[in-house]
Chains A and B, each alone.
Chain A
Amino acid sequence: MEITLNHVLFLSTALFFVGVYGFLTRRNVITMLMSVELLLNSVNINFIAFNKYLYADKLDGVFFTLFLIAIAAAEAAVAIAIIINIYRNYNSIDVDDVDSLKW
């Protein structure tokens, strides 16, 4: 059977919501970061799919993906720095322990 755009979109949507589930559920900050990476990747798949199936002669999707990869890398680096700082201050990387900003 031919693989249409819908199949790929189905895949990327599923991956997106797996990432959302992981983000809302996991207690460890690093695993939350991993879920965020999954989210970003699903978006990348989306872009590439649209580029391939609908706009094959243009390269916009490719560029978006490239930039998105770059940005994701930067954001992951900053997140790791923050995680290290949190570990230093709270001595734990459980996200439920970082709740100082409450009432």
Chain B
Amino acid sequence: MVSMTGDFKIILIPLLPLLSFLLLGIFGRKYLRGSSGLIGTLSLLSSTLLSFSVACNYFFVSGKVNGVFQQLVVLKQTWLEFSPGVTIDMGFLVDPISVMMIVIVTFISLMVHIYSLGYMKGEERFATYYAFLSLFTFSMLGLVLSSNIFQIYIFWELVGVSSYLLIGFYFDRQSAVAAAKKAFIVTRFADLGFLIGILVLSFGAETLDFKTLIDRLTTSTPQLQSMITTSFLGVSSLTWGLLLVFAGGAGKSAMFPLHIWLPDAMEGPTPVSALIHAATMVVAGVYLVARLFPVFAISVPGALHVVGYVGALSALFAAVIACTQTDIKRVLAYSTMSQIGYMMFALGVSGYGGEHGLGYMASMFHLFTHAMFKALLFLGAGAVIHYVHSNEMVDMGGLRSKMPVTHLTFLIACLAISGIPPFAGFFSKEEILTAAFENNKLIYGVALFTSGLTAFYMFRLYFSIFWKKDFHSDHHGEGPWTMKLPLLLLGVLAVIAGFAPFSHYVTSDGKGLETAVNVSFSVAPVLFAITGILIAMQLYKSENAVPDKIAGAFGSFYTWTLHKFYIDELYLFVTKKLIFNLVGRPSAWIDRNIVDGGVNLSADLTEDTSSLIRSWQSGNLQQYAVWFFAAIIGVVVIFMLIWK
């Protein structure tokens, strides 16, 4: 059954990148090499404009009914019916967070497309790159617009595939191939939990549709009762379902301990990191929890605690590691993990409805602003790498005079991420800290300390790139205008985005929320941030030996942190020593000897039997005659004597 209500421009929004992917994928290599960048960018531009118009329409004109933002389902098409009520309907869901996400995804993707026109110029597989970018944009848009939990899983996997293709874009590099495999396998492993969670939830609620699922599991219905009462190992099936779904989200969002793929994923081209690993794919997990938030908050608050602690732990963990890394992209990767941890625990400390839903609102707000400044940071890092031809901080320094635009925008982004007013990050972080303070003082403390660390390592990065020493001047200039324009646009947004009245539009229950800046509360985090900046300035503004001395003072803790707490080695140990030897080898032995052996045995038996009776076919006429004669006599004897 197909039904369409509301704004159906929304159908075009994912469709245009899909068409561009097909066009560039099939014809790009041979025919469209030169213009593929333009085709990709133009299709994204139209998608962006459409999404802006849809957002304007939704938020300002027609979305609200009685003061509450509605969840609309535009276009619902029954695809696969398991039983009446449990069907996979493909559809587009329009509600505040999905509209916000399509705006973010299309806009950041557009910036990345424009940037790549300059960054990837001269690349031989130019058209393929743009095709993959379009595929990714399509999958991400499909993910956020899904109205059905199975559909979101389909697009989830598609996003994983696109990210694999993009991370492994330079496939002639061993490290890139390994990183792509790692990303795909780790997220796939998490998606196993996601799938089981989907099955548990949909079986319990007897539906796959988001709206119906949330309604059934948040109000007192027989499905909810049965889900709460059936328990497995002491935990109710509803909790299992939600935790498993969260596990899938944690894998995609690089939460501890499934974070190992994110630093390695920096092997991909830098614009790809900006798009995927800063602004869009990694927030898919946060989006998923936000989508199912009513069930989390109303029916299973315990699961929400788990979400909160995992998020807070990831935030702290990543911030500590980021202080010691020397590859600038890795620093940014860990910073992403930390900020997503912030978003997760903001959801974790949130309640549902009105004032209680502050954490939800703050998390979404932080998602919005983080997309801006993190993409800006990555694109700036890309410009720096493009100029210096190296990723390591030791090769950089004193670039502020050589790359003025990059320097300015990078500084703005660092200030934003540190939470310095009046930049964007300040407002969203403040909301998060308020929500945490009200609900869980421990998480608040962790968050406060982490924001200090954030400021420290970001400015360590900034000073090391732009101040530390004088750079031996080199050949070329900063980069073409296609690389500078996105930086400028994002820089402007990083400044003003904080002032958007976000809480009026995106809240946990659809009603608007009034928030105000609490000055006395904000003093503490800002002070922490400024302290961090000052320490970083002291240590890194000019070249000296103090950082190494401090690192020596920390001793083995520093070594542990530098090696990322050996989590990668732990995973390798488990897989290589345990799984390969205990499961892989016996299975291979069984396959070779028992399965193949059985087949070979039957072949050998046939061969032996046939060589035994081979001599009957001797070609000798008289032998045949003998047997013929004998048979006739035998038949005659039988008929005459036995069968009367």
Contact = CB atoms under 8 A, between A and B. Distances in A.
Interface of A: 20, 23-25, 32, 95-96, 98-103
A95 B619 CA distance: 10
Given A20-B629, A99-B620, A103-B614, 14 more contacts: A24-B622, A24-B626, A32-B621, A95-B621, A95-B622, A96-B620, A98-B619, A98-B621, A101-B619, A102-B617, A102-B618, A102-B620, A103-B615, A103-B617
Interface in B458-503: none
Interface in B593-644: 614-615, 617-622, 625-626, 629
Nearest to A25: B622
* 8 closest cross-chain pairs (CB), A and B: A99-B619, A102-B619, A103-B614, A101-B619, A103-B617, A102-B618, A95-B621, A102-B617
30 contacts: A20-B629, A23-B622, A23-B625, A24-B622, A24-B625, A24-B626, A24-B629, A25-B622, A32-B621, A32-B622, A95-B620, A95-B621, A95-B622, A96-B620, A98-B619, A98-B621, A99-B618, A99-B619, A99-B620, A100-B619, A101-B617, A101-B619, A102-B617, A102-B618, A102-B619, A102-B620, A103-B614, A103-B615, A103-B617, A103-B618
Q: Is the interface of A mostly helix, strand, loop or mixed?
A: loop
B350 to A, nearest CB: 83
Nearest to B617: A103
A95 B621 CA distance: 7
Q: Is the interface of B mostly helix, strand, loop or mixed?
A: helix
Nearest to A100: B619
Contacts of B622: 23-25, 32, 95
A36 to B, nearest CB: 10
Contacts of B621: 32, 95, 98
A25 B618 CA distance: 16
A14 B618 CA distance: 30
A23 B625 CA distance: 8
A95 B618 CA distance: 12
A24 B630 CA distance: 11
A46 B618 CA distance: 35
The CB with the most chain A CB atoms within 10 A, among B617, B619, B629, is that of B619
A103 B629 CA distance: 22
Contacts of A32: 621-622
Nearest to A96: B620
- Looking at B617, B621, B625, which has the most chain A CB atoms within 10 Å of its CB? B621
